[in-house]
Amino acid sequence: MVKDYYKILELEPNADEVTIKRQFRKLAMRFHPDVNQELLHADAWYREIQEAYQILNDPISKAQYHEQRWLLKSQGKPFTEIFPLSPDYISKRVHAFAISVQQMDHFRMDHRALQKQILDLVNDDVLSALSFYKEKDYNKKILHDLLRSMEPLEYPHI
């Protein structure tokens, strides 16, 4: 999974170090949680911007990233989504998944594939983001939708 760090920083892939630093500072000021308190979960966007800058600012990490980027493009695969892991985003994603599971034919579905998709939805990054924000309403909604998604699973897959 490779993120498009240039897209996160709103840059062209051929941007030089000075442009990368300037754009990082501009976006950091826009999304800094202390400066922009009216934007819900601005700190999640800020962390994404920081991650992109750390990779593109270090010459070794940048070279490795460019290699991964080239390999991904040569295989015709898309980049990973660039939405930060905020409770709002996770909740929407899990809710959409729960709706799609409810619309499936439960007798013909692949239970192992469903189990894998549920585990992918609640990976370590998602759990750490949810524990960081500690928003009970979002957590209840996410848990409810996950349990709805698990209804068609048989006992050995739960």
Most confident of 41-45, 64-68, 149-153: 64-68
Q: Which residue has the tokens 């698990």?
A: 150
The pLDDT tens digits of the residues spanning 44-54 come to: 888 889 999 99
pTM to 2 decimal places: 0.60
Q: Give the tokens for residue 153.
A: 């699973």
Q: Which amino acid is at 127?
A: L
For residue 116, which phi and psi values (nearest 5 degrees)? Answer: -65, -40
pLDDT at 81: 65
pLDDT tens digits for 120-146? Answer: 888 887 887 788 778 888 889 999 999
pLDDT higher at 97 or 131: 97
